[in-house]
Amino acid sequence: MNSILTELLVPFPKDYIKQKPGKGGDYVIHGVVRQRLLDVVGFYDWSIDREIYDQDSKLTGCIGTLTIYVGEEAISVQGAGDVEHDQGTNGANLKHAESDAFKRAAMNLGLGLHLWCGDNYFVYNKNKSKAEGGPSSETAGSESL
């Protein structure tokens, strides 16, 4: 795996991880995700491809595309985001949904994936071992994707 893509798999330091109130779950704020992406891959492209509305014309979500550049290769992934709590206006709802969609797209590149996987996160150590010349997944008994 490309070293840039492997670097996206590095878990966030504990100091950046927050706990969602109520329902629990770990998360990292939107600005930290964007900083990490800029730090690892440099500039990227992000676009909102589709807004999603309910029957009352209230915006409830969006789908966006994140494109990073690794050498000469463009890699694009999508993410879908929703509005957990109505923010009052479609504009405010779009900002909320966009943040969710962006973080989910970044997760599709491996960035912050450990937050969704919890104790079942293994792909970083597997790829780190390969980069260091450690045992392959076949000899180490690692799970396959």
91 belongs to a structural domain: yes
Partners of 46 in beta bridges = 66
CA distance 2 to 127: 10
Span of 21-35, 65-79, 95-109, 128-142 with lowest mean pLDDT: 128-142
- State mean pLDDT over 56-78: 97
Contacting residues for 71 by C-beta, under 8 A, at least 6 apart = none
Which pTM was predicted?
Answer: 0.83
44 belongs to a structural domain: yes
Structural domain count, the chain: 1
The alpha carbon torsion through 93, 97, 100, 105 (nearest 10 deg) reads -160
* CATH code of 44's domain: 3.30.390.80
At 67, the amino acid letter reads T
- Dihedral over Cα of 119, 124, 130, 133: its sign: negative
- State mean pLDDT over 54-81: 97
What pLDDT is recorded for position 133?
60
141 belongs to a structural domain: no
45 belongs to a structural domain: yes
Average pLDDT in the chain: 87
What pLDDT is recorded for position 140?
37
pLDDT of 64 above 50? yes
39 belongs to a structural domain: yes
14 belongs to a structural domain: yes
138 belongs to a structural domain: no
Question: 53 with 76: CB under 8 angstroms?
Answer: no
pLDDT of 127 above 70? no
Residue pointed to by tokens 């990227």: 44
- State mean pLDDT over 45-50: 98
Q: Find the domain containing 80 and state its range.
A: 3-129
Reported as a single tens digit per residue, the pLDDT across 90-107 is 999 999 999 999 999 999
134 belongs to a structural domain: no
Question: 68 with 79: CB under 8 angstroms?
Answer: no
